Structure 1
């Protein structure tokens, strides 16, 4: 494999790592509330049998609020760039999380929880940035597993923070006994500590994250300049060129080019084309619609299961000798454990998920395909949900918690595979990269409806179930939702994504390198002449699509007598592309005055003269 092809199959690890740092605080903040939400609601003088309903409504409030702003965050990232919107969303989420920790009543908790949902727009934006960094299908399982891996690592720390640091004055009187603020607000400490993680992510993003939106890459980024200034004193290596996809042939002054020059990406037609807002018909294609339905149902039952588990495990134990118990269906007991133990179980859950995400998912997805993995997971979810309530019938605490841990690991394994697979399929179903930010914003909003409906439905059915003595109702309802959500998976098609054109570019580079090394078997003139069409092909690909099509059409209208010789025209391109690239070259001496070169000729050189200053400096023209 040529050097260019090898470079194309390398992950941009530095940028993915920075995105992971930016993302890390959000899962910690989101999962830290799972262990202590039942205790928080109880502290608001809510009866035990009503806790599940209010917890479900609180989760629904978060998701519905996220639904209202998901598309807006995505559209804003398409217009202003990924980086500024990521930083803004992180800042808003940090502030709303701190406010949630200072809740003293249900109204304040619901208001701040809704603010968290409104500001939580980074899910789709970071997913879009990953897709723009890694368009190659071969690398997508690894790249798209990084953000779920970050979520799993965050889910290790989150429940530990939430379960062990609430009521700090009572639990750790020697350390926090003198802090009156923490005594008055017993749920504030976890959120205050998590804000430090948010600040680390915001700082890392501002100083080191590169913009991935094509239109904004060439803009001056003062955060990157400051980051380079701060890191220059810590390294002896020569400063690298800033990461950019801008071609070297772009003009110094965008929009200026001579009549004999190739249109460049900075010219006004290309800029107008890039700034056109994509239509909604492009966003809602057939496969994208099916993927959105699948992702919504997946979020609906998976998130509801994770949020119902702490309520189920916190609910008091019911003895099987109770007169209201009629096995095997009628029983209404839980585990009766506190938030500290619940947080410990979720920590093991997160550690397992991290290992599976890092070591198992990428090779499995590459070997069996993301669609096949998604189908297998969707068939497993209902089985786990049906079996979960029967763990409460086991005789001892250790047996109940052990079997529950096993079911949680199976469910976690399926969730770790299902969400990245669904994300990859949704990304590859997009019509173009221009609409990817909007599509992921739509996915965030629509899936938020599922994340709202799932916990609300699970909480309401759990409350109703324990009232009538059938706790299985809530879990079997989730199983039914999972079965319905598995049906559209069988109508999905695994599409190619956006890496095809880049692979062709790399094959062109490979052939050009072989010809320069003399591997073609011809003389030097033939090798140089055959290398020119490849260079021209890359120049055309870097231009706006409409401009490139015009150039190809102009070339196809030229008579065959004006093409190069067959030996020179032999390349590895497709027949139609070879025909469009067979041009006659003539010298372009200094001046480029009338009569020097044929009328209608196009100049393909370094653009140093005709494009940047309007004065020819020599080179080669083709017609």
Structure 2
């Protein structure tokens, strides 16, 4: 017999069935549209890999690319930094616009456009023969791509909608971003200048004329494949919620409501506990400290990625590098992948035991000690006859560095989403991405300029080539110092519950 609608007109609830709610004005799927959490997380993971992959693909060969443009070795670092920074400078302004647009037209079309635009701009970059062309094409790549911030928002929305543990969801996000940062230099170094390194000249000697095009084509194909798969199978997440969640009032509070109404909630999680009082400034202070710390985190992350290629390609005989070619740079990063996988597997358990802030601080402490060790490798290589000792030390510190990067990034993403009201998540994630882009725009130029300065001045230790590694260590200290004042996780969770409860009926 056909069942009749309930008196209230609601649809019978089914466990773990997700719907797109009609309460929101943005474009959405029809109510009752079933989604597959696993399929969506896989597609978002591929998107999360694509953006950082394209942003750092050039690092292993940018040194040789700029040198082939006719610049002296001492000037390569600064010019390479300008090219790398062009991507992130433009992203500072483009990312908030993409996030705002995704609130209007949906996450899915914005991410698909970003993937296709990245593919086109990467091919144009691979055809670069001048510094100006390279900088413009990198700027275009940054302008069309706000996918990382949107993907971060999608991860939060999927986790909230499907009941997936935040630590597990954002460990996947952090792992995929770190994977992109690792695979980019690895693929870029392995496929750069294929005529010389692989004996592959391409159709009609294409790669003889454009030696840096092959890795860019690889990136373009990856972006297009992910874009097509997303167009076919990715679900829209704007307005997505668990169908069996308790229904909320239809009226959504405005930003003015949230700012004007003070938050005073009598929190009594246990007998005898004190009144828990917070206001909007409570979360603003935590958000400010988190974003400030992320500035130092991203500066030293991208600075090292830029510096490592310059350092590894510099002369071992002069004691300032390892005399690696592009394939050797790629080979040296091969152990980074297993380290990140281990970090990914450990993060959910670590997050349950220690929460976000302690894990993020521990990653900063690891960076403080790891960076200076890199600067000691040329002395080690020149002191021992067998290069195997240098390679063992190099791979150990690379694994530690990339493992700490995954833990730090995943912890940072969870923390950012924990201190943001769900209705402001897209805005804050866009702001966080702009802050990260600002930091990563500073990083390559800072790293390249300090490296060039230290080589030209020919100063004594520690102001010789060691200076850049010591600066990275100081940035790691700043990352930790700015996060110390953040309250414990249980207090943040209680404050967010109070915030939502107080404004639920606004």
Q: Same fold (TM over 0.5)?
A: yes
1:419 alignment counterpart: 409
The structure whose Rg is larger is 1
2:445 alignment counterpart: 456
2:151 alignment counterpart: 126
Alignment of 1:21-32 (within 5 A): 21-32=46-57
CA distance in 2, matches of 1:287, 1:31: 30
CA distance in 2, matches of 1:375, 1:409: 18
Gaps of 5+ in 2: 1-12, 19-34, 261-279, 459-463
Contact kept in structure 1, 2:51 and 2:148, CA below 8 Å: no
1:361 alignment counterpart: 347
SS at match of 1:482: helix
- Cα deviation, 1:447-492, whole Å, max 9, x if unaligned, reads 2121122222221111111223311111111112221222111111
Q: Does 1:296 align with 2:322?
A: no
Structure 1 residue corresponding to 2:225, chosen from 182, 197, 200: 200
| Displacement after TM superposition at 1:11 (Å) | 9.6
Structure 2 residue corresponding to 1:447, chosen from 433, 436, 439: 436
Q: Does 1:465 align with 2:454?
A: yes
2:308 alignment counterpart: 309
Alignment of 1:240-251 (within 5 A): none
Provide the alpha-carbon RMSD of the alignment.
3.3
Structure 1 residue corresponding to 2:43, chosen from 18, 29, 32: 18
| Displacement after TM superposition at 1:278 (Å) | 8.9
Rate the CA distance shift 1:378–1:153 in 2: closer, same or farther, 3 A.
Answer: closer
Rate the CA distance shift 1:295–1:349 in 2: closer, same or farther, 3 A.
Answer: same
Rate the CA distance shift 1:146–1:468 in 2: closer, same or farther, 3 A.
Answer: same
Gaps of 5+ in 1: 218-243, 251-262, 320-331, 505-540, 550-623
CA distance in 1, matches of 2:398, 2:186: 17
| Displacement after TM superposition at 1:249 (Å) | 12
Contact kept in structure 1, 2:95 and 2:434, CA below 8 Å: yes
Rate the CA distance shift 1:7–1:84 in 2: closer, same or farther, 3 A.
Answer: closer
Contact kept in structure 1, 2:419 and 2:496, CA below 8 Å: no
1:56 alignment counterpart: 81
1:180 alignment counterpart: 205
Rate the CA distance shift 1:418–1:47 in 2: closer, same or farther, 3 A.
Answer: same
TM-score, L = length of structure 2: 0.79
Rate the CA distance shift 1:42–1:277 in 2: closer, same or farther, 3 A.
Answer: farther
Q: Does 1:486 align with 2:480?
A: yes
Contact kept in structure 2, 1:89 and 1:122, CA below 8 Å: yes
| Displacement after TM superposition at 1:439 (Å) | 0.4
| Displacement after TM superposition at 1:84 (Å) | 1.5
Aligned residue pairs total 443
| Displacement after TM superposition at 1:60 (Å) | 2.1
1:558 alignment counterpart: none
Contact kept in structure 1, 2:15 and 2:243, CA below 8 Å: no
| Displacement after TM superposition at 1:123 (Å) | 1.1
| Displacement after TM superposition at 1:7 (Å) | 8.6
| Displacement after TM superposition at 1:43 (Å) | 0.9
CA distance in 2, matches of 1:97, 1:90: 11
Alignment of 1:178-577 (within 5 A): 178-214=203-239, 265=250, 270=251, 273=252, 285-318=284-317, 333-357=320-344, 359-394=345-380, 395=382, 396=385, 397-430=387-420, 432-469=421-458, 470-493=464-487, 494=489, 495-496=492-493
| Displacement after TM superposition at 1:113 (Å) | 1.2
| Displacement after TM superposition at 1:156 (Å) | 5.4
| Displacement after TM superposition at 1:441 (Å) | 0.7
Rate the CA distance shift 1:387–1:87 in 2: closer, same or farther, 3 A.
Answer: same
| Displacement after TM superposition at 1:425 (Å) | 0.6
Alignment of 1:600-619 (within 5 A): none
Contact kept in structure 2, 1:67 and 1:446, CA below 8 Å: yes
CA distance in 1, matches of 2:333, 2:214: 19
Rate the CA distance shift 1:249–1:487 in 2: closer, same or farther, 3 A.
Answer: closer
CA distance in 2, matches of 1:287, 1:275: 21
1:618 alignment counterpart: none
Point out the more displaced range, 365-374 or 347-356.
Answer: 347-356
TM-score, L = length of structure 1: 0.65
- Cα deviation, 1:525-545, whole Å, max 9, x if unaligned, reads xxxxxxxxxxxxxxxx9xxx7
Rate the CA distance shift 1:313–1:390 in 2: closer, same or farther, 3 A.
Answer: same
1:238 alignment counterpart: none
| Displacement after TM superposition at 1:117 (Å) | 1.9
Rate the CA distance shift 1:278–1:178 in 2: closer, same or farther, 3 A.
Answer: farther
Rate the CA distance shift 1:497–1:83 in 2: closer, same or farther, 3 A.
Answer: farther
Contact kept in structure 1, 2:342 and 2:403, CA below 8 Å: no
| Displacement after TM superposition at 1:350 (Å) | 2.6
Structure 2 residue corresponding to 1:163, chosen from 185, 189, 198: 189
Rate the CA distance shift 1:102–1:45 in 2: closer, same or farther, 3 A.
Answer: same
1:147 alignment counterpart: 173
Rate the CA distance shift 1:177–1:135 in 2: closer, same or farther, 3 A.
Answer: closer
Structure 2 residue corresponding to 1:76, chosen from 101, 111, 115: 101
- Cα deviation, 1:108-145, whole Å, max 9, x if unaligned, reads 11111111222231111110111111139971111001
CA distance in 2, matches of 1:191, 1:377: 32
CA distance in 1, matches of 2:495, 2:104: 21
Contact kept in structure 2, 1:168 and 1:186, CA below 8 Å: yes
Point out the more displaced range, 371-380 or 27-36.
Answer: 27-36
